Amino acid sequence: MAAQIDKVAAHLASHADPSLNAIGLRLAAATAALQNAIDWMVKTSADTPRTAYAGSVPYLKLWGVVAGGWQMGRAAKVAADKLAKGEGDAAFMRAKLATARFYAENLLPLADAYAQSAVSGSASVLALGADQF
């Protein structure tokens, strides 16, 4: 699935439309963070499952943010295509592009934070014993 997201990101990032380009660049960065976390999660879950489990919540949040950006990017591409062809409700299509860019610029940057938390935050999660909660 990450490869599919990366394919959409690359397509958008190479687009001449400035909004699609910006969305694609942000989505590509978020997908890179996701892939890093996937690689870590696969290795860590095999070696030390508790450590992987400790990073699971930010890992799932990372997936949610990136998958949301993927769908927003796909919708933005459809909207841009419809605008270029003069199809559909132009105001709605422009709004779709604006909301997708907002998501890319304001929510996709969270992917880096979630990836870092998933990969590097496990030690602090495991620092306390169950009896300390």
- The tens place of each residue's pLDDT in the chain, 133 residues long, gives 999 999 999 999 999 999 999 999 999 999 999 999 999 999 999 999 999 999 999 999 999 999 999 999 999 999 999 999 999 999 999 999 999 999 999 999 999 999 999 999 988 989 988 888 7
Between CA 132 and CA 52 the distance in angstroms is: 21
Residue 76: which of 19, 2, 129, 16 has the closest Cα?
19
Domain boundaries, the chain: 2-122
- Please give the single-letter amino acid code of residue 64: G
Calculate the CA dihedral of residues 94, 4, 42, 56 and round it to 10 degrees.
20
* Residue indicated by tokens 């963070």: 33
Between CA 38 and CA 130 the distance in angstroms is: 27
Instruction: State how far Cα 128 lies from the chain centre.
Output: 30
**14 contact partners, CB below 8 Å, separation of at least 6:** 21, 24
pTM score, two decimals? 0.92
